[in-house]
Structure 1
Amino acid sequence: MSYLRSSFRHPHAQKNKLGYTQANYEGALSTLCAGCGHDSISNSIINACFELSLEPHKIAKMSGIGCSSKTPAYFLSNSHGFNSVHGRMPSVTTGANMGNRDLTYIGVSGDGDTASIGMGQFMHLVRRNLNMVYIVMNNGVYGLTKGQDSATADLGSASKKGVPNMYEPMDLCELAISLGSGYVARSFSGDKDQLVPLIKGAIKHNGFALIDCISPCVTFNNNPQSTKSYEWVRDHKEATGKFDLVPEAAEIQVQNPNELTESIQLHDGTTLNLHRQPDSLDITCRESVLSALEEAKQNQQVLTGLLHLNTNSKDTHDIINTSSKPLNQMSESELCPGSDILESINASLR
């Protein structure tokens, strides 16, 4: 088996506004298990960045430890990247963001990396509202250590080891909404039409954006008794609505006149166009969303789509009033203004 990617590309491949083809956003050939949902999520990230015409060298991809945290090697090979230790991606990303706020930060984590060893860091990252996209590739198992149940495994769900999970699961979307995240979504790795617009919207959002993506583990957790399997999620998926990210200069077209449409303007002027039924939940109301998530659980449904959106949220730099000029672009005199300035600061705190 060859692990070399062919360099051939169609001479008339589609190009984005920067003149790049999708090949400019690809990475190394994946070595994950064949059929792993994580590869589908990687491809969705590639598509989202290509369609938004982002410059790869202005993106920083961050990760921790786990099958999911290997995936940054498989997309955006021309971007910056940092693979941190287990559960510590939030603090590393915070430090990088403080140094250079002008980069687009895409963090990739797993249900173990986030909901177990990294839970403390994840919670403080949300409440500080760091401007980043945080994608959880959620398969309910520890794939690198032979399939033990993770903290997101549903009660009674059984992996291929055959023992039903005895504990209540952690719902990362509910947690993020409760802690004040302004953009919270859930999707399924096999639903590219839904996932790509969600990633695009998360990138455009100013502040912390969480996407909890159910991603079946084909080796340890893709059996009928598992609520994280392809079969179970496809049978129980309940979408909040069809939506798309509409560029500011483009015409908004309603595909179905009988469908309720709500347009929400984001900070940079782009519009998130939501199509849903009249009895759909109010995504701007945290209480409504949390109630809908709990109701879906009772009905054994996986509520997907954009779950919560707050366009008025302030990111970390706005909250603590940092310099608009990134630290990595400042001169020595700007970073070290002298002892007189330091003394005046100290005096103001006495």
Structure 2
Amino acid sequence: MSYLKPQFSHPRLPKNKLGYTLKEYEGTLSTLCAGCGHDSISAAIVRACYELDIEPHLVAKISGIGCSSKTPTYFLGNSHGFNSVHGRMPSVATGANMANKDLVYFGVSGDGDSASIGMGQFVHVIRRNLNMVYVVMNNGCYGLTKGQDSATADLGSKNKSGAINPFQAIDLASLAIELGATFVAQSFSGDKQQLIPLLKAAIRHPGFAFLNVISPCVTFNNNPGSTKSYDYVREHIEATSAKDLVPIKTEIKADFPAGKSAHVEMHDGSEIQLNKLALDWDPENRNSAVNALQKARANDEILTGLLYVNNEWKDLHQTLNTAKTPLNQLMEADLNPGNVALEQINDSFR
């Protein structure tokens, strides 16, 4: 069986401002299980990058190990990619970002990859506010090793073998807010109308943007009693808002119902427009965001949407005051200024 996509495409396919069709943003055919939520997330990433007119070769995709970490093969096939080891994606993303800050960075991970073996790396990439989009495809189980509960499996949930999870779940969205992430959102792989604008806003965000996406595992965690199944999520989902990202000088196409609206301006002048459904929630207030998540959890609800955003904190390059020119573009004369400059540096320490 071949996993290569056919080269033929219809000559009248719609194109973005760069002259690219969606085909230029796709990858190889997926080898994941039919119906896997991860494929829907990949499709949303393809659509978001296409609509934002991003050059595919200016994107870097980095992942760890797991079903989720296979997905960079299935989107943006003309982009840079690196499949690292289990739980260590943030270190590789940090190194790449420090060398070339001009790329759009996607870090793709799973609940096992981030909430267990990679928890230490997850914590520190947040506190450094690395400018990247960090997507967790959260299915509550280890799909590659036959469905054991992961650290995000909810207390009392039942896996496919019938075992009840006796442990409290790690809430990655709440944890990210507490640790200082400057953009935190939560969504469902089956809701592309919500997920695509969130991804677009995350790409435009000037710092660490975290998206926790509930992505049901159709093989090992889509059974009655699972809190990560399609049926359970659809029955318990509660959105914070209706939203859209409005790029600079682009007509507003979102159709919002009457209600209280909020506008969050991004660093490049783009704007996230929110029509609040949860009126006691403020997306620019950390305490309000945490309280909204805890309230939803107490009511057995899965709160989705943009939870928190902060455009004021510096990203890692601003904090370290790095060179404006990416390190991979510096020439020998820049890196080796000569003995006179070295003497001046040494004198400054005497």
Q: 1:256 to 1:30 in 2, by over 3 A?
A: closer
Q: Distance in 1 between matches of 2:140 and 2:180?
A: 24
Q: 1:254 to 1:102 in 2, by over 3 A?
A: closer
Q: Secondary structure at the match of 1:303?
A: strand
Q: Distance in 2 between matches of 1:209 and 1:100?
A: 18
Q: 1:137 to 1:254 in 2, by over 3 A?
A: closer
Q: Distance in 2 between matches of 1:224 and 1:348?
A: 68
1:243 — aligned with what? 243
Shift in Å, 1:5 = 1.8
Q: Which amino acid aligns with 1:75?
A: F
Q: 1:145 to 1:347 in 2, by over 3 A?
A: farther
Residues 152 and 171 of structure 1 are in contact (CA less than 8 Å); yes or no, is this contact kept in structure 2?
Answer: yes
Deviations 1:150-189 (A, max 9, x none): 1111111111011111111111111111111111000000
Q: Distance in 2 between matches of 1:167 and 1:348?
A: 56
Q: Distance in 2 between matches of 1:242 and 1:26?
A: 27
1:234 — aligned with what? 234
Unaligned runs of 5+ in 1: none
State which drifts further: 3-12 or 53-62: 3-12
Q: Secondary structure at the match of 2:20?
A: coil
1:198-213 aligned within 5 A = 198-213=198-213
Q: Which amino acid aligns with 1:311?
A: N
Q: Which amino acid aligns with 1:132?
A: M
Q: Distance in 1 between matches of 2:254 and 2:136?
A: 31
Q: Distance in 1 between matches of 2:334 and 2:64?
A: 33
Residues 260 and 278 of structure 1 are in contact (CA less than 8 Å); yes or no, is this contact kept in structure 2?
Answer: no
Q: Which amino acid aligns with 1:51?
A: E
State which drifts further: 276-285 or 86-95: 276-285
1:156 — aligned with what? 156
Q: Distance in 2 between matches of 1:316 and 1:191?
A: 32
2:12 — aligned with what? 12
State which drifts further: 336-345 or 169-178: 336-345
Q: 1:278 to 1:189 in 2, by over 3 A?
A: closer
Q: Distance in 1 between matches of 2:4 and 2:142?
A: 28
Deviations 1:264-316 (A, max 9, x none): 11000001010123724001110111011111111000000000011112110
1:89 — aligned with what? 89
Q: 1:155 to 1:318 in 2, by over 3 A?
A: same
Q: Distance in 1 between matches of 2:67 and 2:205?
A: 27
1:289-300 aligned within 5 A = 289-300=289-300
Q: Which amino acid aligns with 2:56?
A: P
Deviations 1:205-247 (A, max 9, x none): 0000000000000111001201011010000000001100011
What do you get for the CA RMSD once the two structures are aligned? 1.4
Residues 240 and 280 of structure 1 are in contact (CA less than 8 Å); yes or no, is this contact kept in structure 2?
Answer: no
Q: What's the TM-score once normalised by structure 1's chain length?
A: 0.97
2:224 — aligned with what? 224
1:312 — aligned with what? 312
Q: Secondary structure at the match of 1:81?
A: strand
1:47 — aligned with what? 47
Q: How many residues align?
A: 350
Deviations 1:102-160 (A, max 9, x none): 01101100001111111101100000000000000000101111111111111111110
2:177 — aligned with what? 177
Q: Distance in 1 between matches of 2:155 and 2:278?
A: 32
Residues 136 and 211 of structure 1 are in contact (CA less than 8 Å); yes or no, is this contact kept in structure 2?
Answer: yes
1:115-194 aligned within 5 A = 115-194=115-194
Q: Secondary structure at the match of 1:38?
A: helix
Residues 246 and 271 of structure 2 are in contact (CA less than 8 Å); yes or no, is this contact kept in structure 1?
Answer: yes
Shift in Å, 1:254 = 6.7
Shift in Å, 1:54 = 0.2
Q: 1:257 to 1:121 in 2, by over 3 A?
A: closer
Q: 1:345 to 1:180 in 2, by over 3 A?
A: farther
Q: What's the % identity of the aligned pairs?
A: 62
Q: Distance in 1 between matches of 2:337 and 2:150?
A: 49
Shift in Å, 1:6 = 2.3
Q: Secondary structure at the match of 1:109?
A: strand
Q: Distance in 2 between matches of 1:278 and 1:42?
A: 28
Shift in Å, 1:49 = 0.3
Q: Which amino acid aligns with 1:234?
A: R
Q: Distance in 1 between matches of 2:348 and 2:114?
A: 40
